[in-house]
Amino acid sequence: MARPDCAQPPFVPSEVEGRDRNPLRIRPSTSLGNSVRWLAFLLLAMFAVPVAAQDSLPPAPYAYKQLEDPAKEKAAQDLMMTLRCLTCQSQSIADSDAPMAGDMRNQVRQRIARGEDPEAIRAWLIERYGDWVSYEPRVTTMTWPLFAAPVVLLLLAVVIVRKRFTRARAQGGKS
Amino acid sequence: MIAEIALAILWLAAALAVLQLGVGSYALTARGAEFLRAVRPIAVVQGLLVAVAFALLIVLFLRTDLSVKLVAANSHSLKPLIYKIAGAWGNHEGSMLLWVTVMGLAGGFVALLERRLNERTMVATLAGQAFVSLGFYAFMLFSSNPFERLNPAPVEGNGLNPLLQDPGLAFHPPTLYIGYVGLSIAFSFAVGALITRDVGPAFARAMRPWVMGAWIFLTLGITAGSWWAYYELGWGGWWFWDPVENASLMPWLAATALLHSVSVLATRNALKAWTVMLAVVAFSMSMVGTFLVRSGILTSVHAFAVDPERGSFILTLLAIYIGGALALFGLRASTVTEGAKFHLFSREGSLVMNNVLLVGVLGIVLMGTLYPLVTEAFGTKVSVGPPYFNPVSAIFVFPMLVIMAAGPLMRWRQDNGRKLANLLAAPALVAAATLALVVVFGGEIGALPLLGLVFAAGLAVASVLPLWKRNLRRTPAHIWGMVIAHLGIAVALAGMASESAFNTEKLVASEIGQSHTVGPWTVELQGVKPIAGANWTALEARLVARYGDSNVQTVLNPQARMFASPPTATSEAALLTRWNGQLYAVLGEEGEDGRWQLRLWWKPFVPLIWYGGLLVGLGGILSLVGRTVRDLRRKGEPELEPISEPAASKPAAGGQEALA
């Protein structure tokens, strides 16, 4: 586990570079990092929870604490598995030890505890951080090919198999 | 000196690859026949030279020669010996050198040993192989020279990323690379056979061991990578559909399809064009994988745009090889005959259907991996993760599992279905019983894990049915191989489904002496103490675990490690494996109140995932050995009817069908 902050991305085989000519590798982009921090600040200010995405302060109450109700914890867990940690590479917030992921877990758990719908929480997070935060792509004008692909591939598979075998049968019948 | 000598040897090897391509191409023309014999020795020497260059790189790492830039950037004098060696390929330049080394050695090996194939096809194959390696030589010599000097030399090296300092990972990248490169040999065979219009059983038999070998390495590499992610990253996950993981999965999917197709071609003389096509696709996927992993495009399209040199190089190579191969395929497709005919309801028919479905899964994974890059280029960042890949790939995988259960029980050419229906009653019953059991006792679980458990149970039974009423001692090794590999898929699937269905997690802030329950376990934190290793210090917890009411106590020691160079914190999870699952413990931070963060998981049957992967690999090895021994024993005599013999230089150009 890449602990407190995952400056070292987890899937290192690709990342261990001889010359790190590009500091951008570490974070998706500096401007994103900044705006994310800014948003996190706003967000926290809004709820007046005395925590911020800084290492010096203790983690948010529900960052490392499970909800009492197992059903609610499961719902929170399922949701957290599908949300991206914005400071790490390819980790969900459930798996990340970055402070920011801890804050997001805290948010998710508290909202679930208050009885909010997981999908509403997802929508709320997407509204703040963009589609990037959710591993579950939505159908939009931008992403529809992702959902068309399986249908097209299935149709193609049927066509290929049909073509191959109707022909074989026709020829087999003749010979 | 060593670095300069190694670089000179590398240039020499590259020059020999040029020669191999030139002489090989000339030898194939009408006037050049006398040069045919020159190509094999060139290939052997080229392979030896590049291997020497790679050995010298390892020597540089062993001596921690910090005046070499690559060593300074990736090694450290205090690093344990095994990681000094592994450091040679745990980076971009070194891994590219490893790539051409494996490729050169494999080419030399083919040149030395392969005697069954028509000599002209052989030479065309070696020329094609030289063409592919040349791209990588150029890439290395012009944009990522592993032997570059650093002046002045630093006093100490940077060290290797601690996450890589793990025995599993030291050998994970080379395993995958050998797999990738094996597919490049299969690709060269396909190109060679297309050039000399020689796509037939002899070609398939020459190519098959390489496809199988590559597939075995890919299988084991993916299994090892998943295991490494599971215990080294410390979050208890084993697969996240991460682009880097997908990069290794895609060649495996294509190789799996190719493996089955090439076997049909070798033994039944059918599926000719389809096999060639899959060989091209499989190699394309290993190139796409290399591109994704090596170009830096995965972190961000912008990162790629800032430093596009390497990525563009690989992308250009990809375009040349794949474009070239497809153009050649287009030109020669009409000369590839359709091959033996068969009915849809036959063993070949089920293989074709599963091949198509495998390619379908491949399409989904490719789409899901590349699409975020496309949208990012248009300014929208989206994430595609497990919530997309799991259900969408399931659409293809579950039908595939059914066909996989039935296919090996069918007859070649045409099956009447009567015997099949009797045989399949047993797995169907077992699947139904599993469904009932899980629904009644399994509690609330998702649809996909439920289906996974049911299909795994059915497939496990069906996979051993090909041995039904056979004389087990006289059953050929490749049948055993198939049975074991298919069983391995069922076992791995059971592990995956069980992990997602029955996983329990406990997060606690624990005082010393406090006990916690997770699943059937009671775990007590007895203490935390500091310890030190060669290049790290750590806090190590002492956990005592008891299963159920049992009095047997087992000690677990999860560690939170701090590496000095480069400064990185890692977690060493502690695992306790029982026959029915694994207890997984991770030590976290100490809170201000003196309580320790603990993460405990109980993961029922999770080790089945990797046992399954190993079984699949073992099945592959058995099959490879069995087939090779058989092929060698039959050397010289045609396995099939004379029509399929490659000696007839040009098969009747009749079949226009691309998919045959």
Give residue-wise pLDDT tens across range B283-339. Answer: 999 888 888 887 777 765 555 555 677 778 888 888 898 888 888 888 887 777 777
| Residue with tokens 């490879």, as numbered in its chain | B624
Rg (alpha carbons) of chain B, rounded to whole number: 27
Q: Are the beta carbons of B388 and A8 separated by less than 8 Å?
A: no
pLDDT band, residue B450 (cuts 50/70/90): very high
pLDDT (average), residues B590-615: 91
Average pLDDT, chain B: 86
Q: Is the dihedral of CA A136, A140, A143, A144 positive or negative?
A: positive
| Residue with tokens 């040149």, as numbered in its chain | B111
B535 vs B222, more confident: B222
Quote the pLDDT of residue B202: 86
Q: How many whole angstroms separate alpha carbon B7 and alpha carbon B22?
A: 23
pLDDT (average), residues B152-161: 79
Quote the pLDDT of residue A170: 55
Residue finishing a domain among B113, B131, B165? B165
Q: Are the beta carbons of B164 and A16 separated by less than 8 Å?
A: yes
Q: Are the beta carbons of A137 and B568 separated by less than 8 Å?
A: no
CB atoms within 10 A of CB B531: 12
Nearest by CB to A150, from B292, B392, B657: name it.
B392
| Chain A residues touching B349 at Cβ < 8 A | 165
Q: Strand, coil or helix: what is B543?
A: strand
- Residue in chain A lying closest to B145 (CA): A18
Q: How many whole angstroms separate alpha carbon B277 and alpha carbon B254?
A: 10
| Chain B residues touching A25 at Cβ < 8 A | 296, 299-300, 303
Q: Which of A148, A151, A72, A53 is CA-nearest to residue A117? A: A72
Q: CB contacts < 8 Å between A and B, how many?
A: 201
Q: In terms of DSSP bridges, do strands B596-604 and B504-510 run parallel, antiparallel, or are they unpaired?
A: antiparallel
pLDDT band, residue B635 (cuts 50/70/90): low
Quote the pLDDT of residue A10: 37
pLDDT (average), residues B232-240: 80
**By CB neighbour count within 10 A (0-12 exposed, 13-18 middle, 19+ buried), where does B244 fall?**
buried
Q: Are the beta carbons of B341 and A168 separated by less than 8 Å?
A: yes
| Chain B residues touching A146 at Cβ < 8 A | 367-368, 371, 384, 388
CA atoms within 13 A on the CB side of B207: 38
Rg (alpha carbons) of chain A, rounded to whole number: 23
Quote the pLDDT of residue B78: 80
| pLDDT surpassing 90 at residue A20 | no
| pLDDT surpassing 80 at residue A52 | no
Domain ranges of chain A: 12-133, 144-175
Tens digit of each residue's pLDDT (9 = 90 or more) over A107-133: 999 999 999 999 999 999 999 988 889
pLDDT (average), residues A17-23: 33
pLDDT (average), residues B94-120: 88
| pLDDT surpassing 90 at residue B542 | yes
Quote the pLDDT of residue B302: 58
A96 vs B209, more confident: B209
- Residue in chain A lying closest to B364 (CA): A150
Q: How many whole angstroms separate alpha carbon B409 and alpha carbon B430?
A: 17
Residue finishing a domain among B142, B165, B188? B165
Q: How many whole angstroms separate alpha carbon B18 and alpha carbon B394?
A: 46
Q: Are the beta carbons of B570 and A3 separated by less than 8 Å?
A: yes
Distances (CA, A) of B647 to B164, B196, B204, B267: 51, 11, 15, 18
Tens digit of each residue's pLDDT (9 = 90 or more) over B466-487: 998 888 888 889 999 999 999 9
Look at residue B660 and tell me if it is in a domain.
no
**DSSP string covering A25-77:** GTSS-HHHHHHHHHHHHHHHHHHT-S--S-TTSPPPTTTS---SSHHHHHHHH
A163 vs B193, more confident: B193
**DSSP string covering B332-355:** HGGGS--BS---SSSHHHHHHHHH
Indicate if B267 and B281 belong to the same structural domain.
Answer: yes
Quote the pLDDT of residue B90: 79
Indicate if B465 and B494 belong to the same structural domain.
Answer: yes
Q: Strand, coil or helix: what is A11?
A: coil
The answer regarding whether domain A12-133 maps to CATH 2.60.40.1120 reads no
| Chain B residues touching A65 at Cβ < 8 A | 507, 509
| Residue with tokens 């020689």, as numbered in its chain | B198
Look at residue B211 and tell me if it is in a domain.
yes
Nearest by CB to B356, from A14, A134, A157: name it.
A157
How many distinct helices (H) and strands (E) make up chain B? 18, 10
Least confident piece of the model among B114-118, B177-181, B364-368: B114-118
Look at residue B183 and tell me if it is in a domain.
yes
| pLDDT surpassing 70 at residue A50 | no
| pLDDT surpassing 50 at residue A44 | no
Helices B36-62 and B119-143: crossing angle in degrees, nearest 10, is 30
| pLDDT surpassing 70 at residue B205 | yes
Distances (CA, A) of A167 to A145, A164, A173, B58, B486: 32, 6, 10, 56, 31
Please give the tally of structural domains in chain B: 4
pLDDT (average), residues B630-656: 46
Look at residue B423 and tell me if it is in a domain.
yes
Q: Are the beta carbons of A134 and B589 separated by less than 8 Å?
A: no
pTM over 0.90: no
Query: What are residue B572's phi and psi, to 5 degrees?
Result: -100, 105
| Chain B residues touching A149 at Cβ < 8 A | 363-364, 367
pLDDT (average), residues B55-67: 91
| pLDDT surpassing 60 at residue A160 | yes
Q: How many whole angstroms separate alpha carbon B108 and alpha carbon B106?
A: 5
**What is the least distance, in Å, from the CA of B66 to any CA of chain A?**
13
Quote the pLDDT of residue B28: 87
Nearest by CB to B296, from A22, A135, A149: name it.
A22
**What is the least distance, in Å, from the CA of A72 to any CA of chain B?**
13
Burial B211-236 (b: 16+ CB within 10 A, else e): bbbbbbbbbbbbbbbbbbbbbbbbbb
pLDDT band, residue B129 (cuts 50/70/90): very high
Q: Which of B466, B604, B590, B572 is CA-nearest to residue B528? A: B590
pLDDT band, residue A175 (cuts 50/70/90): very low
Taking the C-alpha atoms of B548, A62, A137 and B293 in order, what is their torsion angle to the nearest 10 degrees? -80
**Which residues fall within 8 angstroms of residue B69, CB to CB, at 6 or more apart?**
A18, A19, B148, B149, B150
| pLDDT surpassing 60 at residue A172 | no
Quote the pLDDT of residue B564: 78
Q: Are B468 and B622 in contact (CB under 8 A)?
A: no
**What is the least distance, in Å, from the CA of A116 to any CA of chain B?**
20
Quote the pLDDT of residue A49: 41
**By CB neighbour count within 10 A (0-12 exposed, 13-18 middle, 19+ buried), where does B633 fall?**
exposed
Percent of chain B with pLDDT over 90: 42
| pLDDT surpassing 80 at residue B618 | yes
Distances (CA, A) of B347 to B71, B409, B487: 53, 8, 18
| pLDDT surpassing 50 at residue B628 | yes
| pLDDT surpassing 60 at residue B576 | yes
pLDDT (average), residues B507-526: 91
First vs last C-alpha separation in chain B: 55
Q: Are B592 and B240 in contact (CB under 8 A)?
A: no
Quote the pLDDT of residue B373: 86
Indicate if B512 and B478 belong to the same structural domain.
Answer: no
Indicate if B155 and B81 belong to the same structural domain.
Answer: yes
Q: How many whole angstroms separate alpha carbon B522 and alpha carbon B184?
A: 51
Interface TM-score (ipTM) > 0.90: no
| Chain A residues touching B69 at Cβ < 8 A | 18-19
pLDDT (average), residues A89-103: 84
pLDDT band, residue A91 (cuts 50/70/90): confident
Query: What are residue B234's phi and psi, to 5 degrees?
Result: 75, 20
Q: How many whole angstroms separate alpha carbon A72 and alpha carbon B364?
A: 33
Indicate if B30 and B88 belong to the same structural domain.
Answer: yes
| Chain B residues touching A93 at Cβ < 8 A | none
Helices B201-232 and B167-195: crossing angle in degrees, nearest 10, is 160
Percent of chain B with pLDDT over 70: 94
* Beta strands, E only, B511-660: 515-518, 521-532, 536-547, 554-556, 559-563, 568-572, 574-578, 581-590, 596-604
| Chain B residues touching A91 at Cβ < 8 A | 235, 240
Percent of chain A with pLDDT over 70: 61
Q: How many whole angstroms separate alpha carbon A103 and alpha carbon A84?
A: 13
Distances (CA, A) of A131 to A87, A124, B218, B241: 15, 11, 33, 18
Tens digit of each residue's pLDDT (9 = 90 or more) over B344-375: 888 888 898 899 999 999 999 999 999 988 88
Residue finishing a domain among B150, B165, B180? B165
Structural domain of B122: 1-165
Q: Are the beta carbons of B367 and A133 separated by less than 8 Å?
A: no
Q: Which of B133, B138, B134, B1 is CA-nearest to residue B56? A: B1
| pLDDT surpassing 70 at residue A47 | no
Quote the pLDDT of residue B462: 93
Quote the pLDDT of residue A8: 39
Tens digit of each residue's pLDDT (9 = 90 or more) over A68-82: 888 888 899 889 989
CA B547, B549, B555: angle at the middle one, nearest 5? 35
Quote the pLDDT of residue B261: 93
Taking the C-alpha atoms of A15, A18, A19 and A24 in order, what is their torsion angle to the nearest 10 degrees? 0
Quote the pLDDT of residue B430: 94
| pLDDT surpassing 70 at residue A46 | no
Indicate if B486 and B529 belong to the same structural domain.
Answer: no
